[in-house]
Amino acid sequence: MLNGKDRPYACEFQIGTIYFMGQNNEVLATSTANGQPVSLPKSKAISHTTNSSGGSLFYNVSIDFRRVNTPSFATSTYRLTRASITDPISPGETTVVDSTIAVSPNLPPPYIRPNRVMFKLQLNYAVSANQPPFLVAPIQLLMLENPVTYAKMTKPTYHHDRDRVEAWRTMQVSVNFSK
């Protein structure tokens, strides 16, 4: 946990690689550890919308994760959430990406490929006179949650969302608007 103490329930998962993909599902960048920079070329976005103040770029994201412990509390589905800050402490600071992730409660043999979940990432950007485009609140954190365990780890004892989830990854996402 962030305070240096052991979590009362062992984390169920470990996130392996996060793949950021563009057109034709080509891999544009990967994240394999916390805090890594992830730079995506604007021209490779799978789609793009614009308006008078900026626009949105869309990329596919694929997350590989592996079960490392059996669940402390049974659940039929897990949640993937994201945040534009690295240490959310209130529910309003996170967004549910997928709440229907089904994972076997059993530990897999080592030769079985990891679990994979995919989603479409929207990166909003703004433009202003005499300024280059810039991202507005880009994604910085992905978390995989067991909703039952998450609910049992209440505040104020477990103040940080990262302490309450089964696995998480921080990253520094940017877009190269000239590529």
pLDDT tens for 121-149 read 999 999 988 889 999 999 999 999 999 99
Return the sign of the alpha-carbon dihedral for residues 64, 68, 71, 72: negative
CA distance 149 to 126: 38
pLDDT at 129: 87
Comparing CA positions, the residue from 105, 95, 99 lying closest to residue 117 is 99
Over residues 98-103, the mean pLDDT reads 96
Comparing CA positions, the residue from 11, 148, 118 lying closest to residue 66 is 11
Quick one: pLDDT band at residue 102, thresholds 50, 70, 90? very high
Looking at the predicted structure, is the pLDDT value of residue 103 above 80?
yes
Q: Are 160 and 89 in contact (CB under 8 A)?
A: yes
Q: What is the mean pLDDT of the chain?
A: 93
